[in-house]
Amino acid sequence: MKEVVFSGIQPSGSLTIGNYLGALKNFKPLQEEYQCIYCLVDLHALTVEQDPKFLRKNTLQLLALYLAAGLDPYKSIVFIQSHVPEHSELQWLLNTITPLGQLQRMTQYKSKSKLQEENIQAGLLNYPVLMASDILLYQTKYVPVGEDQRQHIELTRDLAMRFNSRYSDTFVMPEIMTPKVGAKVMSLQDPTSKMSKSDSDPNSYILILDDEKTILRKVKRAVTDSLNNFSYNEDQIGLRNLIDIYCAFEEINHSEIVSRYESLGYGKFKEDLAEIIIEGLKPIKNRYEEYIADRSELENIYRMGADKARKIAYKTLRKAYKKVGLIPR
Ligand code: AMP
Ligand code: TRP
């Protein structure tokens, strides 16, 4: 039996190169060695208000992007979270063993709730419990995600440990899996904060589906510094972020980049970086166009994925229900 890899991305808008480098790019190579399960976490997306039309559209677009990034629905299980009701059901059980204080201390909760201080919903607070349920339902060993998800994985581990020690072994203890470079891509306009698709300034991020001109313009406008010193260090975080993006796309070391561009300067580096990003994304974009045009194939894929996922999820849920003393149906 292969070990299980599980990850999910929210269909809450177009993906950035942060999502790509931190998560999506790393999904494909895991398919050979592991049983991979890749979810479109539409229930998570509901923690901020969504326009129903856009949510539907974004979900299909994200599925097409998964496939374009090389996820093989016959090797991996690719499905939509809301099609497997066990996610919400296990979440309820886990809610009953989750300390409120721990949820209130989550950094993502703190930063997102600050944006809507007058109107914080319970779903925003409980969101990490749903994420724990996603992971634990499939007896997941590894969770490939960006660095910003580390705290949520810690919570998942705490809940698994608490449940297992209270009721006997039920869940596999999951581990985070982050890429060496690209685990935290920073904003192009403010390199102290993470690149995010919900940023109000579109120049702060590059989308996987941005056209070539837009990518070139955004890279050229990216904030660096006026030191005119091409090196990789703590004091030049804007430049360091761009070097990291270059490294993640090309899979080379930052010292190689520094020695290549020391004499060429920031301008030439940015031009080449834009080219590398454009070339790196091109095959995905082309395949995306094919997948998104075939609605019935997308439907077949998510239905097949949900059928496979439910079989596994149901088994785990039944076991957990029994252990806490619920009478089997
Ligand atoms: P989300 O868009 O929040 O659903 O994130 C989907 C995946 O992308 C998660 O694994 C995140 O950790 C990852 N991710 C999001 N933003 C970044 C970023 N700026 N750098 C690296 N990974 C990211
Ligand atoms: N919370 C993750 C994010 O915002 C998305 C997510 C939901 C997830 N459930 C998951 C990631 C399970 C990995 C495993 O990026």
pLDDT given for residue 176 in this prediction: 98
pLDDT of residue 118: 84
Residue 30 is predicted with a pLDDT of: 98
60 CA distance to ligand 1 middle (Å):
19
Ligand 1 atom closest to residue 183's alpha carbon, by position in its atom list:
21
Q: Which token pair is 314?
A: 């149901």
Ligand 1 site, CB within 6 A: 9-10, 18-19, 21-23, 145-146, 148-149, 183-185, 194-195
The reported pTM is 0.96
Task: State which of 20, 39, 148 you would mutate to test the pocket of ligand 1, scoring each by most atoms of that ligand within 8 A of its C-beta.
Answer: 148
Distance CA 95, CA 129 (A): 7
Amino acid in position 317: L
Pairing of strands 175-177, 142-144: parallel
In terms of residues, how long is the chain?
329
pLDDT tens per residue across all 329 residues of the chain: 899 999 999 999 899 999 999 999 999 999 999 999 999 999 999 998 899 999 999 999 999 999 999 999 999 999 999 999 999 999 999 999 999 999 999 999 999 888 888 889 999 999 999 999 999 999 999 999 999 999 999 999 999 999 999 999 999 999 999 999 999 999 999 999 999 988 999 999 999 999 999 999 999 999 999 998 999 999 999 999 999 999 999 989 999 999 999 999 999 999 999 999 999 999 999 999 999 999 999 999 999 999 999 999 999 999 999 999 999 88
Residue 225 CB partners (closer than 8 Å, separation 6+)? 236, 238, 239
